[in-house]
Chains A and B, each alone.
Chain A
Amino acid sequence: MCITKVGKVLSTSKGRAEVEFFGANDVGDVDVSVVGGVAEGAFVEVFGDLALSVLSRAEAKRRKAVWEEVRKAAMMPPPRRGAKA
């Protein structure tokens, strides 16, 4: 299944972009034609190989922090049901 990824556009060409994804040392080739008007330095949310949202810088910063936090949490065992925080 696809997972949602967020990243920064490194370069664009003919409706596609090289995107550096947050939380992973991963650069992907992404179709940005549906969101339109994406330039180098923009932040996008990607599903599969298609960008579905353009994010503001502030939103991207927030999402980056969320992404890193969730990734960190994913490395830990899940909380037990009913366990106190």
Chain B
Amino acid sequence: MPNSLGYCGPDDRGLILRHIEESKGGEDLASTLKGFEAAYPFLRLIARSTGKEVFDYAVPEAYWIGNALLDRVETPEFYRFSHHELVGKDPKEVRKLFKTVGGQARPHHTFYVMSTYATSSVADGPNLSDDGRKKVQGLIDNCRISWGEVQDVGKSKLTVRYQPVSVSDGRLTLSDPVVRKVSYNPEVRSFSNVSPGNWVTMHWDYACEVVSPRQVRNITRYTALDIEATNKILKAPPQRR
């Protein structure tokens, strides 16, 4: 269920789900999506920088999964955007982030999640307790878009093999594959023929959609780049963060 935890945007998840089930857009949907304070500005940035419409499939695909549009967003434009259009980001943190990673900063959802952790005081502080580390890991892993191979299809759950994010020795990595169960909505067209061997993307405890081999290659590539950039921030002395 989109935004079921209420962390992401307007409390209009029923409407969004209805549109997803029917694979149909509309003005009411566009208006709801514009209320997503972090996601929508990113889509606007990618669209503006690449001459696309905001809800052209390639634009949200770039933001959530990753595609070549991300490489066409120029760093100064992303920097300006982070200062002037992104709700909640502190200009001081933004300056430090761009100073450390420069052009490796991409308007990719996973980078937003990982860099938020990397510029926080938790990342600067003393070693986390095991419990604290698990919570941080869980937050990053659930909030980023992950992907995995379907092993089994249940009535409302998919069994998926995927690589979780791990936080150890002050660095992020993808761990060895594990198997987890995630909810999915069989009414959504993308899942109508889902079967073992398909690949899906996941956000929190939900499977988002079945993805193509091209999309799996993209999300793998851009997530690796995000991890590399985030580790640079984590490696920088605290005063530079």
Answer whether residue A4 sits at the interface, using C-beta atoms and an 8 A cutoff: yes
Q: Could you mark each residue 8-45 of chain A with 1 if its beta carbon is under 8 Å from any beta carbon of chain B, else 0?
A: 00000000000000010000000101110000000001
Q: Interface size on A (CB < 8 Å)?
A: 30
Does more than half of chain A's interface fall in helix, strand or loop, or is it mixed? mixed
CB of A65 to closest CB in B, whole Å: 11
Answer whether residue B90 sits at the interface, using C-beta atoms and an 8 A cutoff: yes
**A66 touching B143 in the complex, CB below 8 Å, given contacts A1-B113, A34-B132, A79-B84:** no
Chain A residues lying within 8 Å of B49, measured Cβ to Cβ, are: 81
**A33 touching B84 in the complex, CB below 8 Å, given contacts A1-B109, A52-B117:** no
Q: Are A31 and B135 in contact (CB under 8 A)?
A: yes
Q: Could you mark each residue 1-23 of chain B with 1 if its beta carbon is under 8 Å from any beta carbon of chain A, else 0?
A: 00001011000000000000000
Q: Could you mark each residue 74-99 of chain B with 1 if its beta carbon is under 8 Å from any beta carbon of chain A, else 0?
A: 00010000001111111100000000
CB of A42 to closest CB in B, whole Å: 12
Q: Are A66 and B90 in contact (CB under 8 A)?
A: yes
- Contact size range, B: 35 or more
- Kindly state the separation between the CA atoms of A63 and B48 in the bound complex, as whole angstroms: 28
Q: Are B143 and A4 in contact (CB under 8 A)?
A: no
A window 25-77: CB within 8 A of B = 31, 33-35, 45, 47-50, 52-54, 62-63, 66-67, 70-71, 73-74
Q: Are B88 and A48 in contact (CB under 8 A)?
A: no
Q: Are A52 and B120 in contact (CB under 8 A)?
A: yes
Stretch at the interface among B33-41, B158-166, B175-183, B224-232: B33-41
Chain A residues lying within 8 Å of B113, measured Cβ to Cβ, are: 1-2, 47
CB of B59 to closest CB in A, whole Å: 15
**A71 touching B87 in the complex, CB below 8 Å, given contacts A1-B38, A34-B135, A35-B121:** yes
Q: Are B87 and A74 in contact (CB under 8 A)?
A: yes
Contact of A78 among B36, B85, B131 (CB under 8 A): B85
Q: Could you mark each residue 94-116 of chain B with 1 if its beta carbon is under 8 Å from any beta carbon of chain A, else 0?
A: 00000000000000010011001
Q: Are A78 and B7 in contact (CB under 8 A)?
A: no
Answer whether residue B30 sits at the interface, using C-beta atoms and an 8 A cutoff: no
- Kindly state the separation between the CA atoms of A44 and B228 in the bound complex, as whole angstroms: 27
Chain A residues lying within 8 Å of B41, measured Cβ to Cβ, are: 74
Answer whether residue B136 sits at the interface, using C-beta atoms and an 8 A cutoff: yes
Chain B residues lying within 8 Å of A62, measured Cβ to Cβ, are: 90
Chain A residues lying within 8 Å of B203, measured Cβ to Cβ, are: 1
Contact of A3 among B38, B48, B85, B117 (CB under 8 A): B38
Contact of B8 among A1, A6, A23 (CB under 8 A): A1
Which 5 A/B pairs are nearest by Cβ-Cβ distance? A52-B120, A4-B88, A53-B121, A3-B38, A34-B132
